Chains A and B, each alone.
Chain A
């Protein structure tokens, strides 16, 4: 893992703590597995609040919207979710990937 990712991990954890301290509902989404080429490494994280604000990235842009939506559900019902995203060749091309890939994302509430 490039250590450029280290500073980013700190920023996500800090943001999660700050939002929780402000009384907001918070969920963390983490890339737990990738197949094929994928723009973000395993361990990349996204923090989401109950209003849909988010920071970080799990894919470089193509699935963040869907992850934020599921994360808000998790904040509401407290249930963790394991999400699978296949990136089609066409989408892959648009996000700058040569050959597609898929990503699995674990979503959990900060409780």
Chain B
């Protein structure tokens, strides 16, 4: 590995930028792929892009030689807006799935360390919180407050970001009203269409932990499919 490759990988890790390192296993090629680009033939770049999407390092063949693509994705992150009953099981499930979780709720009575002992809590207003955290393509955003004053600002930031998953709790009727507000706020159909609502895969369960499971399952699907 070239010293320059190592330096680029480390810099990317420090700034939460996803990168892949591609090497020919005879030692003749050593390159970094970032933003889908790098000094490599197009078919090799395609392999690297897919590997990043799948978060899977693997060997492959190219023009008779053996190659290897190593994925260096930043840790997954989940931002939960709303310290509500569904948040508790969701935070635990997401942590087990490898997510760094941040709980955002400016209402001090909700987001207490006693109710949520094992998670980073942010009591800023949701749009400020999300801007400060920096929502990227390895981040999922879930809004659970049922209160447009809190959910909508978070959705505004999420929809302008590359978040791989944006989910909002609420019935179809609640979501229809939400869509009207987002249209008024200037979001187009494609942006609004990114919101998973009603949230979660349709597993049929209604208990908080069952809804949390449906959300976690949908996040996993969005990550890989």
Please report A residues at the B interface, Cβ cutoff 8 Å: 1-4, 6-7, 9-10, 13-14, 16-17, 20, 28, 30, 32-33, 41-43, 79-80, 82, 104, 106, 108-111
Contacts and interface: CB of A to CB of B under 8 A. Distances in A.
Contact of A30 (B26, B27, B68): B68
Contacts, number: 68
**Chain B interface size, under 10 / 10 to 19 / 20 to 34 / 35 or more:** 20 to 34
Main secondary structure of the interface of A (DSSP, over half): mixed
B56 A80 contact: no
Interface in B90-142: 98-99
A13 B23 contact: no
A106 B55 contact: no
Given A108-B1, A110-B6, A80 B26 contact: yes
A111 B68 contact: no
Given A6-B74, A33-B59, A110 B27 contact: no
Contacts of B56: 1, 42
Most B CB atoms within 10 A — which of A3, A13, A17? A3
A109 B71 CA distance: 19
Contacts of A17: 6-7, 10
A13 B13 contact: yes
Given A3-B99, A33-B58, A108-B30, 17 more contacts: A1-B55, A1-B56, A1-B57, A3-B75, A3-B76, A6-B75, A17-B10, A33-B59, A42-B59, A43-B57, A82-B25, A106-B23, A108-B27, A110-B2, A111-B1, A111-B2, A111-B3
